[in-house]
A and B are shown apart, each in its own frame.
Chain A
Amino acid sequence: MTLAPDLDAPADTAAVSVRGLAKRYGPVRALDAVDLDIEAGSYFVLLGPSGGGKTTLLRALGGFIRPDAGTVRLAGREVQDLPPNRRPTGMVFQSYALFPHMSVLGNVAYGLKLRRLSAEEARARAEAVLARVGLDGYGERRVWELSGGQQQRVQLARALALEPRILLLDEPLAALDAKLRKEMCYELKHLQEQVGITFVHVTHNQEEAMTVADRIALISDGRLVESGAPKEIYERPRRRFTAEFVGERNLFDGRVAAVEDGIAAIETPGGPALAPAEGTAPGAEAAISVRSERLTLSREPRPGAALRAEWRERVYLGLVAQHIVALPDGRELSIRIAPGGPEDAGWSAGEPCHVGWDPADARLHLD
């Protein structure tokens, strides 16, 4: 499926513009006619499951993969025939890819030396960039003396020293532990805001994506599923895949049984699931999704959607308490409640309950 290019970003501000990009490996379609636009100066995240094609897409942008078909425009120029060293892109790798036989300064200054800068100027620029990423004075260290986070920053410095228009990041935080990952997320975001160039960041981690992105594109099975700002993706996903992948949602598949006052209903064993119809007619095959934090748990039915269910268990997650309930056919739903509230306590297994939500909080998906 292709998505029309973003109409609110006129062509000349698109830093990256991809049309019909395709790549096959034997019988596998790694990329299947992808169209994409990325606005200049934004932080763009390619999010998706492993093996879905997001890294392939990134590498095609960088020139490390030759697509079978399609065009890639970077900063207005067609580049699909250009090798990586001739593209206006820099790249940051998952495995850090630092040069162990050079010092940190040598790594950062490598690209500058290739551009025939004098040794003093290259050194001065490299040291300035190192300071910018918070590694002031680390120039003479050797690569293996640094921690994972520091190596990541050296990589950033090495790429940024060359002032690329677009920085490509291939799962840059995958090898870091959770706490460090959070810190680096903020640092990357601030860095991008300061430097002002376009960042294209690949990850399979949603939280990472939500933290840093101005816009997120979901890539799966070689196709662009959906793209939008984090808030849109999270609160109002258009496609079923997005609803399943991002955030924790409960899904009800089926056929639209009725549409009343703009609200569609899908029958479930516990009662009708409701969501805004947005023009869909009865009889259409669809799915309804509701975020687990938008569900209410009660002993009596509440106005709005209300399904009969049987309480199963409670999992304490610190920030929230997750309650698992089961519909009459055994399908489980997940409800997230703030711990300590009246709905949170006093449940016993097998107790009948009602799960409800405001129909406006639900979404209807046609595909």
Chain B
Amino acid sequence: MRGGGAGFGPVPPLPDPASPALARLGARAAAAAFYLPPAFMALFFLAPSLMTVVWSFWERTMFWMEPAFTLFSYENFFLSARFGNFLSSIGHSSIAVVICFVIGFPIAVFVRRRIPEIAQHRVMLLFILPFMVSEIVRTFMLRPVLGRNGLVNSTLMELGVISEPITSILFTPTGVVIGEVLSFLPFMVFCGFLAMEAAPRHVFEVCADIGAPRWRVFKDVILPLAAPGVFAGAVFILVNGLGVALIPNTLGGPGAVNAGLIATQAIIALDFPLAMAVSAIMTLTLIGLLALGHRLFDLASILEPFK
């Protein structure tokens, strides 16, 4: 440095890359690498999901299927005896969505509004906890809880509330709904919380200052804010309620099915086009719901805090 450097001499230059051509190639490869994960997802998620539509029109063979264009698997599905049960499963999932909203959303609002910011994420950790326990464990372990000799019945009988064990909460549609609610409730809480996290806390303080009545605050402020999150949560619960075979399989009564179970059983029976038909219906429904949600509520805004 001019004017009084400490006599060190000039700073040496940066080491040159070993070979400029290689460095340029490396730079271009690095730039391309960023697009590797989305390409991976496009290949191994999007492509198979969309191909189900194509495969659903194929014809079944003994062990596999062959290219064709037939609506046979769709007929098979819609006209089968199980279709009625499938429709019931839509009803069960819908009930689960409503229950999750009624229980989970107020909790999300409570956490966002009434708990100090520092503690909010810790409380969210409490809801991540069930996620970390395997879904299969949680679902299977509902049997000893809801069964004839299970925790619920033995506790209620010990407390003298009932004299006979309740049998309608396991291996029944009720059991399925209970299973779905307990499995997916954390998701509704997350989504509601995330959606409201985008809005700063002082929104609520302003409402308090204005002196707005509570139901109006809820209707005009909280709901619209949380709408994208609630919608995302609802879609998740509905689609997973329909698509996870384990829950009706473990907790449902005889003949209880949902789309996921039909698909899995179809694959075991080597009826691949049927499985593909069910998957295609579910995939298209999912994409449709997400597109609708984005148009109505701008779903992507949930990620706002991270931009």
Contact = CB atoms under 8 A, between A and B. Distances in A.
Direct contact of A and B (CB under 8 A): yes
B8 A195 contact: no
Interface stretch (B11-19, B95-103, B166-174, B199-207): B11-19
B14 A194 contact: no
Given A125-B8, A128-B8, A163-B10, A115 B3 contact: no
Interface in B1-30: 1-6, 8, 10-15
Nearest to B12: A115
Contact of A194 (B3, B10, B15): B3
B11 A112 contact: yes
Interface string A105-125: 000000010111100010011
B8 to A, nearest CB: 6
A179 interface: no
Nearest to A111: B11
Contacts of B2: 194-196
Contact of A115 (B1, B8, B11): B11
A163 B11 contact: yes
Contacts of A194: 1-4
A143 interface: no
Interface residues of A, number: 21
Q: Is the interface of B mostly helix, strand, loop or mixed?
A: loop
Interface in A137-179: 160-163
Contacts of B5: 128
B248 to A, nearest CB: 50
Contacts of A85: 14
A196 B6 contact: no
Contacts of B3: 193-196
Contacts of B15: 115-116
A339 B4 CA distance: 46
Interface residues of B, number: 13
A112 B5 CA distance: 16
B1 A124 contact: no
Nearest to A193: B3
A268 B274 CA distance: 86
Contacts of B14: 85-86, 114-115
A128 B6 contact: yes
Nearest to A112: B11
Contacts of B10: 163
A160 B8 contact: no
Nearest to B10: A163
A30 to B, nearest CB: 19
Contacts of A128: 5-6, 8
Most buried by A among B3, B6, B15: B6
A161 B10 CA distance: 10
A115 B8 CA distance: 15
A193 B1 CA distance: 11
A117 B4 contact: no
B12 A160 contact: no
A140 B301 CA distance: 43
Contacts of A193: 3
A197 B5 CA distance: 13
B26 to A, nearest CB: 13
A117 B6 contact: no
Contacts of A163: 1, 10-11
Nearest to A117: B12
Given A194-B3, A195-B1, A196-B2, A124 B11 contact: no
A115 B6 contact: no
Given A194-B3, A196-B2, A162 B8 contact: no
A160 B6 CA distance: 13
Contacts of B11: 112, 115, 117, 125, 161-163
Interface in A39-82: none
A160 B1 contact: yes
A197 B3 CA distance: 11
B164 to A, nearest CB: 65
Nearest to B7: A128
Contacts of A125: 6, 8, 11
Nearest to B14: A115
Nearest to A114: B14
A48 B1 CA distance: 31
Given A86-B14, A196-B2, A196-B3, 5 more contacts: A116-B15, A124-B6, A128-B8, A194-B2, A195-B2
Closest A-B pairs by Cβ, 4 of them: A196-B2, A128-B6, A194-B3, A163-B11
15 contacts: A112-B11, A115-B14, A116-B15, A117-B11, A117-B12, A124-B6, A125-B8, A128-B5, A128-B8, A132-B1, A132-B4, A163-B1, A163-B11, A193-B3, A197-B1
Interface of A: 85-86, 112, 114-117, 121, 124-125, 128, 132, 160-163, 193-197
